[in-house]
Amino acid sequence: MLDLKFIRENPDAVRKAVADKREKADVDALLELDVKRREMIGKVESARAEQNKATQKIAQMKKAGEDASPAIAEMRRLSDSIKEMNDQLKEIEAQIYELQIRIPNIPDASVPVGGEQDNEVVKTWGELPEQDFQPLPHYEIAEKLGLIDFARASRMSGSFFVSYRGLGAKLERALINFMIDMHVEKHGYTEIFPPFVVKREAMFATGQLPKLEEDMYHCELDDLFLIPTAEVPVTNLHREEIVDGNALPIKYTAYTPCFRREAGAYGKDTRGLMRIHQFNKVEMVKFVRPEDSWDELELLLQNAEDVLQALDLPYRVLTLATGDLSFAAAKCYDIEVYAKGLDKWLEVSSCSNFLDFQARRANIRFRREKGGKPEFVHTLNGSGLALPRTVIAIMENYQTDEGTIVVPPALRPYMGVDIIK
């Protein structure tokens, strides 16, 4: 959430951010209400000053034995007026808040302006696989080898759900353990295993609500949401806290299933694992000092890249343009892995810097020194990695002409086999 003072002092920059991110927030209405709010605060303060004078006058009149009835009546009138103005002020502030929470974070100056077509490729790694046969798409090889049961999963849960089986289930579990171990042992993150359902306030803090509510699975009876990513519960670990500045950066990694209704995405990427309602992901979340957040974003990106390099999967890194940037992010790198069977680049990670946007919504602060003034931390998160499309790339790129899948060497200690057949 942007600070109201910042919005007031930088209206053009905020309007541009709204336009560049293709949001619908009404900045002008907010600014008009802000003027009314400050005028109302002035009136309340003036009335309270008069009320204080009236109180003193009444005390003097009573002390002198004079009739204070007219002054008492005036004080009551002022008291009623102050109550009425305070009620109006609360209503104005509520309207401001509703407009304020719909204003997105401002994109960093390094972010290209435009839509998805304007995303910039900033790095590529690895060689595209060369095979002397046409590899099957993952959904065909997975069914041939009995790794995923699409039909039975759909029968029990509906479209866009999958059930892994046998070595398919073991591959999923192996990837999760491999990624968590790398982030803990090599990158220095602390592992978290959080709840998979959260309160509405937690979803608001990270920016999913109110904008994306229709994409979320909502348990109406308890007003709880199934998490769309581990970013939500892990970021909210320090909600309403003042953390020790000497402990920063705080780095967490977590595996969770993720639940997304994908409302509005029907008809896109409908085959196999490309777009499913429940999927597994390993996430990285950082809480850092403001002056360190841009360097920490580059380190976060490298941590995600390390996973793909260890698996020897070719990938590219893109800087997302403003229109493709999330509501809460100031800058985001997407990592796309190449999948030979589909002949497509598939997103497996988004690494984002939110600056203090999420921290303001969650009220997460730190002190630089004991007794110092609390400041908002900066938060970052990145997928390390999302599993469905990582699995696609492994199945398609490591496929053989014999209809088997070679297990990447880094995964063999976790799989216990060298070849899936």
Those residues whose C-beta lies under 8 Å from the C-beta of residue 234, and which sit 6 or more positions away, are: 192, 194, 252, 254, 283, 285, 381
What rounded mean pLDDT belongs to the chain?
A: 95
Q: How confident is the model at residue 262 (pLDDT cuts 50, 70, 90)?
A: confident
Q: Write down the domain spans for the chain.
A: 4-100, 116-420
What is the predicted pLDDT for the residue at 263? 56
Exactly one of 172, 239, 389, 396 is catalytic; name it.
389
Q: Which has the closest alpha carbon to 338: 185, 130, 174?
A: 130
Active site residue 389: yes
Q: Topology of 116-420 in CATH?
A: BirA Bifunctional Protein; domain 2 (3.30.930)
pLDDT, mean of residues 342-348:
97
- What average pLDDT does range 404-408 have in this prediction? 98
Nearby residues of 254 by Cβ (< 8 Å), 6 or more positions away: 191, 192, 193, 194, 230, 233, 234, 282, 283, 285
The 10s digit of each residue's pLDDT in 37-63 is 999 999 999 999 998 888 898 889 888
**pLDDT for residue 269:** 67
Active site residue 48: no
Q: What is the pLDDT of residue 267?
A: 56
Q: What is the mean pLDDT of residues 60-69?
A: 87
Q: 260, 305, 336, 365: which is the annotated catalytic residue?
A: 260
In contact, 380 and 286? CB cutoff 8 Å: yes
pLDDT band (50, 70, 90) for residue 70: confident
Is-catalytic flag, 347? yes
Q: Annotated catalytic residue: which of 74, 140, 347, 375?
A: 347
383 classed as catalytic: no
pLDDT in tens, 109-128: 999 999 999 999 999 999 99
The mean per-residue pLDDT over the stretch 139-168 comes to: 96
Whether the predicted pLDDT of 270 surpasses 80: no
Is the pTM for the entire model greater than 0.85?
Answer: yes
CA distance 33 to 35: 5
Architecture of domain 4-100: Orthogonal Bundle (1.10)
Q: Is 262 a catalytic residue?
A: no
Q: Give first-to-last CA distance, the chain, whole Å.
A: 51
- Would the CATH topology of 4-100 be identical to that of 116-420? no
Catalytic residue among 102, 239, 275, 361: 275
| pLDDT class of 384 with cuts at 50, 70, 90 | very high
Catalytic residue among 350, 352, 365, 383: 350
pLDDT tens digit string along 283-341? Answer: 999 999 999 999 999 999 999 999 999 999 999 999 999 999 999 999 999 999 999 99
Query: For residue 266, is pLDDT > 70?
Result: no
